[in-house]
Structures are given as structure tokens and as C-alpha cells.
Structure 1
């Protein structure tokens, strides 16, 4: 023997050494480190030089894991199986134990002893009996086995209590952290961080049921309702813990629902490697953590939903207030476009009005220029046909998957909301984004509300501009009215440096009325008016002067340019009217070098027209006072 004590003294000495080991139990020492010290002490007390310990705890069913060795070869197996078999050691000191060890490297040992504790926790020590020890070694080991089992049982319970205390400290800490954060990403990150700290050997995944984009790198899986993982779906639907045992993979998967008071927000998946039975106390801790996390997720979601709702209401209120401030139609559309781009991260925004008679779509000014292009018009046509058929708004996550067209769409995400006023669809709003599924359903509902509140303001802006246009527009020719022309020229004389005025009269107009009728006469006036519109710039002004007389004002245009426009109009009218008619033009001019009144400009043009009419008609004439400005 390795010592000279008698049996009783040896036992007392061994017990005192075990108590010293128990005094080392604290959060800073691990179970494995103290177990190693006990193993070395046990071997020393019994004169064993070569030995290995395999441990079986409540997480194992038929396997033991190699824990410690003294003087053992490196080829020892990491695990051994325990069961009922005839393949046993040559000599067993613990006669109730049988092992699967045939053809195993463990055959280097010739003896074994098992230390059995509570909670199905046990240690099996394999060792080589020194030669010549015989019954004396057996007596020594059996004598210290009882005290060792008491020690190990006590040690296991102490560390189990420490572990549980640490778990609940973690639970308390994470609960405090959850309550201090209303950020969903922070809550999810804290779940994974805590579990990795408490159970570092496990693998974790968050299976989430929502479509929110996560901004952090976390092990997240989508929880799909048509998923083949029926166990995960059962945990989600029932709101209860589910455990899936995989004997082939030698692991156990736990599914803990992230449950709040109002629903389940996902499932925590925990994989325990090299285990077939998931430890009960760990199931309890993970379940408590999942429930706490579920409540925190719910609070964070409700907080974010309330903030989003406030933001939505602010958007609608701000937009409604701005739209009620009598903006021009183009300003109204531009403002709405900017709001939609900012809140919905949209790439293209278009407002399309439908023609009452033909149902054709007109892109309103202020919309994205993309809808003026051919590629943008195919979206307009698609939405128009779809809304006409389905009589509802459109919310499409990926156009290229949703449609059967041979070509692919440049923008995948689409929302289209009809603009309805007085039970009549006036048009629709199209919102596009390049990425598929870029818009959430909450965005879609908000856009519906925004367009609903904006349609009346848009209709009022359009009606107001139509009324304004009616006041300043001649009903027959659609040219500007005389009063608008007078004001425009007066303003031009203040803001511009020069300008040219042209008075146009249809030659022999009475003969047309007498020959073809007054309706044909009106048609001739309309034809001439249309030719005027085609031959002037968008900044120029074509107006109805009175009867068969029309007028053109060219702001900022020198006399030479003005005469050229008049001369071109004379030729064009003769060539492109039916029945063919001619016109005579009187041209006058002003600039800042001479004081000028609007009436004087009109009078000179009228005299020049009179001269043209009395000298063969079908010509353009510049007033003699302005001829010197023809340079």
C-alpha cells in the first residue's frame, strides 16, 4: 500500500482530504478541476499508477464520456457504451457492472470500479492492478469507494446549485436588459449571447415568423408555414416546448416558443450534441429564457408598432395639412412624390389620371420622369389592366414571379392604389422599387390611407386648375383668352428686354361661312389655332383676339424671329387647311430702349395687318416704325 495507516485511520485521513476539496467549491473553480484532484488523490491513496475515468450523467443514456486519465495511452476512445453484454473485464471489483469493451483499447486495463451517485450520475474508473496487490487492493478500493461516492454526490450537488444560481442570475440580468431595451435586434442578440454563455457546447437558431429585416448577424432561420420541420411548427402553433430526439445523429433538438401574452413570435432552436436525452433542468431554464424573451419581443414590437403608427399619423396629418394649402397641381404631386420616396424608400412614384372617355392614362406633372419613358409606360398599362380587372389595389412583391410576360421587369416590387372620388376612379398611384419584396404589408396599408386622404386634394387641385384654365382659355380654339394675353404682355414688358406681337386674321372669312356654313367656319378657326400652337414655343402665347382674328406673342424674341414665325404661319395655313384658306399677319415689336405701352404695340400690329389685307392678303407685314429693328 502507498501509506502506513491502518484501515480506520486511512479512511479518516481520506475523508479529511475530501472535505478540503469540497471547501474549494466556488464559482471560480470548475467541476472538472476538482474532479481531477479527487481522481489523482484516489489513485494515490490506492497505489494505482495507470487509470482512466469515464463519466455518465443525466444527459446520456447508454454512453460514457472520457473525463480524466493518468498514465494512459492517447488512443483511448472518447466514448464507451454501457449495456448488458457477456464481453466483460477479466476481473470486476464492482460485480453488478457489465461493459461493451471487446476489442477496445480499454483492454489494457484489467480492473474497473463504478461510483454511483444520485440523479443517474456515475463514474467508471478503469485501472491496471499493480502485480502482487490482490485482495489487499480490492479491500482498499472498496473501503474508499463509499466515501468517494458521498464526496462525488456532494460535489455534483454543490456545482449543480452553483450552476442553477448562475442560470437564474443570468435570467435576472437578461430580464433587466430586456426591460431596458425596446430594440428587437438587441433582444434577439441578447438571447443568443446568454445561451452561448450558459451552454457553450450547444448550437442555437432563432426561427422567426415575421418578415422584418434584421440589421445584425444572427443565426436566424425563416419559419415557413409550409416547412418540412413539423416539430418547429408544432412548437410555434401550440406555444409549447417540443423535443426531437435523433438517435442516428446522436443529438437532441429542443424547440422553445418565443411566447408573449398576445401571441408567439418565433421559435428558439437548441441542438445538444452527443446527447440523446435533453437535460430536464436545462429544458426548464431555456423555457424560462424563451418566455422572457417572448415577452420582451412582444413589448419591443408593440413599442415599434406604436412609434410606426405615430409616424404614420404624422405623415397623413402633415400631408393633409400641406395639401389643403391650395398648392398648384404640379406642386401637390411633387410633394406627395417626395413624401412617398422618403417614407417608403421608393425608387419611382407616378400619379396617373384616366381619360373619362377612352380610359387612357396621363402622367401628371411632378411624377417620376421614368413613367414618360416606354419602359415606364408598360407598368402603367399593366396596372391599368390589372386594376380594371380586379377592382382593387395591387401589392406585388416580385413582378417577375407574379407575371407570365416573356420580358422581365426592371422594378420587382410594386404597389398601386386607385384614386377614387365620389365612387369614381379618377386614376391611380404607382410606387416601384428595384428589389423584390421591398415593401411590407404595413407600408401598403399606409399608402392606401395616404392616397385615400390625398385624392380629394388632388381632385380639388385639378378642378381649380381646370376652372382657372377655363377662365383664361378660349372655349372654341383652346388658345388663351384676350385678357390673359393682355396681362402676359404687360408682365413681359416689365421682366423681359424685348418681344414681338403678331396679329392674325383669316382672309375672306365671311365667304367661308356663306359657302360652307358657320360650323365649317368654326372648324377653320380651330385649324388655324392648332397650326399656331404647332409653330410656337411652349413659352410663347397663342390667343383668340376676337371673331376670326387670332394673336401670337413671343416674349424675348427679336423682330427678325417674330417676322419669321409670322411668315412661316402664312405659308403653313395655306398648305394645311381644309377648305384651304389664307391668313394675313401684322407684326409689331418693342424693346427696353424705348418707352412702350401695350396698346401702342397692339395698334401698330393692327395697322400692319390692315396694310397686308389691302395689299393682296396672304402675307405678313411689319409696321413701318419697327422695320428699322429688323437687323
Structure 2
């Protein structure tokens, strides 16, 4: 009778303490509540330590549920269900439900089963010192009361967690759909999970072409089964959640795909350290969060893609509009190079033109960036042009050192787009950066489109300049035409303060034709023209005036200097032509005080030439009006 009364008092006191815990520690959460239960058990059983173990069906083992277990572990291995059944058959104390384990480290070990509808769902492990008197009936009462409290409070805290999770999910969903920034979406995923499940570790497994400005736990997603994690790759490829257990590291991993309606955009890796287990409620919520985030990522990516497409179209439209506005070829190349440098953040841009489609015979345009004019660029440029000539297709290299390990190149990211017009290979645009994988595939496709739209403008610029050259140059001598010289002198009259004009005539040219034939006569005209071009260079404009007459205009050169230049021309023609011919020259001059038009400058030079002819030829005369 006394024993029953004592047991009743013990049970009442135990219930009162559990009730106090249930009503005062609600805000501490489930983990704090479990620690409180274990503390009450330890105190009530006068034990050294108590720990609650719950059966995990997935692992077929009883797992400690207290998060502080790993800081103060009991000296007992985790039991499998078969271990538990064996203990029940062999170690149960007669007349009780308590299991007494072997002595170890001066401690007695007792296991108290936790029941729910006659089914064991866990046990309490209690450690006593050997000299302590253990009341088995108290242990049984503890087991009965904990069984009831644990089930009820676990359900209660789960309902609180569900409410908290759904409230958080609602806020997160609203925030997801209010943001079109992928970094913000990813940051919100991690922040939400860390608040709800601080015991877990989180990683975002994303493809290598994603770069983030945030300090996010991002790892590269490896797709192949040889490298990296097979479970993460499987989650990404199938769009289904995956689990992975690592007993060596004593941790569990859960992989949730970030899945939208059109595809999977990454994988969320959740790591449960040590023996903390994933429960169905957590798995369902994290999966729901990952799916919501996947849809938000998809919307953000589609929005960013649409913005990028608009920007790309604007770039193409602006570039082609500018290139088709009758620019000179040099201006066309300069504009395109600057557009690429600015829009693609490239370090080097080179434009090469092929002669008659021959990739081995190319000209590097001076508007290209400095690297292409350096001595060390030839080998890399030849490699690129050879690849273009062989494939007749664009070249996209993410890491040059991997593709060509024996070939050193300071630039690892390379894009080369051929310029093809009417199936003819006109040239190539080369864009490079020192960093590997700097250019995305979208950037490569944009460059292709940009060059494709620009090639016609290149061709038109080259044709227009070729036509201008043909119109402004003499067919035979390749000197400027008389029309071009006339227009140039008129411009200098408007812009300069003075200038000189020299007219040159090959002496006795009819006799040359009669002696050597007209073909040889043409060759002599070309020979004399080349001597004049070499002597004058950039000092003036050399043109064919008509027949065997040539002309030179020297801007801002006075008559005395022009006279000396003419004397040198007379001497060089006499000394260096074969068969030997001579020339006669007439010089005229103008300055701001001169009266008359350009035609008067020409007439005065012609009169001076006539005087040179009358004076015996092979000499130069100046216009008497100007004096010498």
C-alpha cells in the first residue's frame, strides 16, 4: 500500500514538472523542449545522464533526438531494431519493461521503452553510478509518462512548425515574385532555411556560367558521374529529390532540384550534421520552398533574358544603322571594335581582311587593338585563321590552354567570327580575353549576329573606297587623276595660306614612242611617275595631268623650296630612267595676297613650262610674276 502511494506521488510530481515545462518553454521550440524532458528525467531518476532515442525507419536504427547529444554523448552505440529486439529478449528485468545493460565505466545502463498503442517508437537511455540505488518502478513510470508527453507535444510542436513554415513560405513567395533578380532569390532561399533550420548546412549547386555578387554558399554543379556527386547530378537531371547517407562523415545529404516549369536551374543541397535526421515535414517544406524558388528563378531568368535580348537587339540595330551610314572603312572598323570592347568587356579585338579569300594572305587592319600588331601575335593569329579557313565556321574557345596544352597563349577565351559575303570569305573578327570561360555562349551568338549584320557594311565600304580610288587615280600610273588634283587644290585655296604647283613634261616623248613603241612609252611614263611619287611622298599630291604631262601640288610650300624640289626631280629622272629620258618643269606659286583663281595658277605654271622647253628642255623654270 505504501509502495503504491509512493508511486502515485512520484507520478504526480513527474506530471507536474512536465506540465510546467509544456506551459513555460513553448517559445524555446522543440529542441529546447526535448532538452527539458531529458533534464527532468535525469533529475527524477537521480541519474547521471538521460537521453531519448527515437526509431528512424529509413535507417532502421534508434537515433538520439537531442541536438546537444553530440556535445555530451552517452557511451553507447546507436542500436538497430534487431539490437533492440535482442535486448528485449535477453536483458529485460523480470517483471518490468526496463532493460538493464552491461556495466561499463563504473556505470549502470538502463533502457526504458517508449510506447504508442503497444508499438515501441523509441526508448530512454539512463546512466547511473554503480553505487546508486535504482528504483525500477520509477523508471517504468518515467517511461509511461514520457511516452504520452512526447507524442502529444511532438504533434503540437509540429503544428506550430507547420504554421511557422507556411507563414514564412507565404512571405518568401511574395518576395520571390516581387523580385526579378536571381541573386536576391537565391539569397532569400538560404536566409529562410537558416532561420527555420539553423542546425542544417546549405549549398547552392549551380552551373559554372552563373556568377554572383553575393556571399552565397555556391558550388559548381558537376553533371558527369565521374566527377563530383552522383546524387546532385541525378537531382538536376531528373528533377526529383535525392538522398545520400555518409556514415563515415556521420551526416545525411538531401538534394532538392530548383525546378521551374521549363527546366531545372540548380540544386539545393541540405546537409544534416551527425545524427540529426530529416523528417517528412522538413523534407516536404524544403522541397516546396525549392520548387517555389525554382519558379521564381525561372521568372527572373526569363526577365533577364528578355532584357538582354532587348539590349542585344538595340546593339545590333544601333551598330548596323551606324555602319550603313556610308562610313569610311577605317571608321567602320573603329566603330565596330569600340562597340565590341564596350559591350563584351573584351581585352583584344582584331579585324583581319583576306586577299581573295585566302586565309594565309591577310591584312591586320590598323584599327585592331595593339596585340595584333605585336611580334608575338603571329602564331596565335595564324592558328585562328587556319582554323577559320579549314572549318569556314565560327570559333568559340572557352579555355585555350586546355584545348592546346602545348601552345602558350596569353588569351584563354577566344571568339573568331568569319565575315562571309556572297559565299566569299572576306575576313575575320577576333575577340579575346585572358580569363578562361569569360564569354558566355549567349555572347558568342550575339557576336555572330553582330558580325553577320556588319559584313555587308564592310563589303560596301570596301567597294565604295575601291570605286573612289579608281575614280581618283590614273589607270596607267596609279597617280591621282587630274580631276582629283583640281578638287584638292581648290580645297587648299580655301584652307591654306599659300602653296606651289609644278607641271612636268617628258621631253621629246613623241620621239620615244616612235623609237621604242607605245608600250615602251607607257612604261617610261610609269617609271617617271614612280620617281616623282617616291620623291614627293607625303609632301604633296602627285597626279597625271594628261598624256606625258604630270603635275604636283605642294601645299604651304613657297616658290623657292618648290623650285629646289623641281630641280631634284629633273636630276633624278635624267640619272635613273632607262632608256634615259629628261623632263622639263614649270613652277607657279600663290599666297593670300595673290589675285586670280586656281586656273590662273595652272596657266602660270604652264607658261613657265613653255619657257623651260624653249630654253633647251631638261630644266625647270618658275613663273616670272612671282620672281625667284
TM-score normalised over the length of structure 1 = 0.87
Q: Which residue is equivalent to 1:361?
A: 362
How much does 1:91 deviate? 7.4
- CA–CA distance in 1 between the matches of 2:167 and 2:456? 59
- CA–CA distance in 2 between the matches of 1:365 and 1:234? 52
- CA–CA distance in 1 between the matches of 2:506 and 2:187? 82
SS of structure 2 residue aligned to 1:216: coil
How much does 1:492 deviate? 0.8
- CA–CA distance in 2 between the matches of 1:523 and 1:78? 109
- CA–CA distance in 1 between the matches of 2:55 and 2:128? 21
User: Are residue 394 (structure 1) and residue 395 (structure 2) matched?
Assistant: yes
Q: Which residue is equivalent to 1:209?
A: 207
Per-residue CA distance 1:477-508 (angstroms, 9 max, x = gap): 22221122112112212211221222122233
How much does 1:550 deviate? 0.9
- CA–CA distance in 2 between the matches of 1:357 and 1:37? 84
Q: Which residue is equivalent to 1:427?
A: 427
- CA–CA distance in 2 between the matches of 1:38 and 1:279? 20
User: Are residue 145 (structure 1) and residue 143 (structure 2) matched?
Assistant: yes
- CA–CA distance in 2 between the matches of 1:140 and 1:374? 92
Equivalent residues of 2:124, 2:143 under 8 A apart:
no
Q: Which residue is equivalent to 1:569?
A: 569
SS of structure 2 residue aligned to 1:23: helix
1:437–1:497 Cα change, 3 Å: same
- CA–CA distance in 1 between the matches of 2:187 and 2:527? 73
How much does 1:17 deviate? 3.9
SS of structure 2 residue aligned to 1:535: helix
- CA–CA distance in 1 between the matches of 2:136 and 2:224? 62
Q: Which residue is equivalent to 2:510?
A: 510
How much does 1:256 deviate? 1.8
How much does 1:545 deviate? 0.6
Instruction: Give the RMSD, CA atoms, in angstroms.
Output: 3.4
Q: Which residue is equivalent to 1:126?
A: 127
Q: Which residue is equivalent to 1:290?
A: 290
Deviates more, 1:563-572 or 1:107-116: 107-116
Equivalent residues of 1:90, 1:111 under 8 A apart:
no
How much does 1:449 deviate? 1.4
- CA–CA distance in 2 between the matches of 1:474 and 1:309? 49
The runs of 5 or more residues in structure 1 that have no matched partner are: none
1:341–1:34 Cα change, 3 Å: same
After TM superposition, list the pairs within 5 Å mapping 1:445-456 onto structure 2. Answer: 445-456=445-456
Q: Which residue is equivalent to 1:108?
A: 107
- CA–CA distance in 1 between the matches of 2:67 and 2:235? 39
- CA–CA distance in 2 between the matches of 1:35 and 1:302? 46
Equivalent residues of 2:206, 2:218 under 8 A apart:
yes
1:36–1:370 Cα change, 3 Å: closer
Q: Which residue is equivalent to 1:308?
A: 308
How much does 1:548 deviate? 1.0
Q: Which residue is equivalent to 1:490?
A: 490
Q: Which residue is equivalent to 1:246?
A: 246
How much does 1:203 deviate? 2.5
- CA–CA distance in 1 between the matches of 2:612 and 2:120? 120
Q: Which residue is equivalent to 2:173?
A: 175
How much does 1:285 deviate? 2.2
Per-residue CA distance 1:325-350 (angstroms, 9 max, x = gap): 22233222222222222221222333
SS of structure 2 residue aligned to 1:29: helix
1:605–1:242 Cα change, 3 Å: same
Per-residue CA distance 1:551-597 (angstroms, 9 max, x = gap): 11121233344334333333433444443433333222222243353
Deviates more, 1:597-606 or 1:238-247: 597-606
Q: Which residue is equivalent to 1:15?
A: 15
SS of structure 1 residue aligned to 2:24: coil
User: Are residue 231 (structure 1) and residue 223 (structure 2) matched?
Assistant: no
Deviates more, 1:465-474 or 1:79-88: 79-88
- CA–CA distance in 2 between the matches of 1:380 and 1:569? 43
Deviates more, 1:233-242 or 1:595-604: 595-604
Q: Which residue is equivalent to 1:336?
A: 336
Per-residue CA distance 1:190-221 (angstroms, 9 max, x = gap): 22222222222323222223523333332222
- CA–CA distance in 2 between the matches of 1:279 and 1:356? 72
Equivalent of residue 82 in structure 1, options 75, 79, 88: 79
Per-residue CA distance 1:396-445 (angstroms, 9 max, x = gap): 223343347x6522333222222222232222222222322222111111
Equivalent residues of 1:472, 1:483 under 8 A apart:
yes
- CA–CA distance in 2 between the matches of 1:519 and 1:357? 33
User: Are residue 382 (structure 1) and residue 383 (structure 2) matched?
Assistant: yes
User: Are residue 530 (structure 1) and residue 548 (structure 2) matched?
Assistant: no
1:485–1:292 Cα change, 3 Å: same
1:578–1:273 Cα change, 3 Å: farther
How much does 1:523 deviate? 1.8
How much does 1:371 deviate? 3.3
Per-residue CA distance 1:280-306 (angstroms, 9 max, x = gap): 332222222222222122111111111
Deviates more, 1:296-305 or 1:148-157: 148-157
The runs of 5 or more residues in structure 2 that have no matched partner are: none
TM-score normalised over the length of structure 2 = 0.87
1:480–1:611 Cα change, 3 Å: same
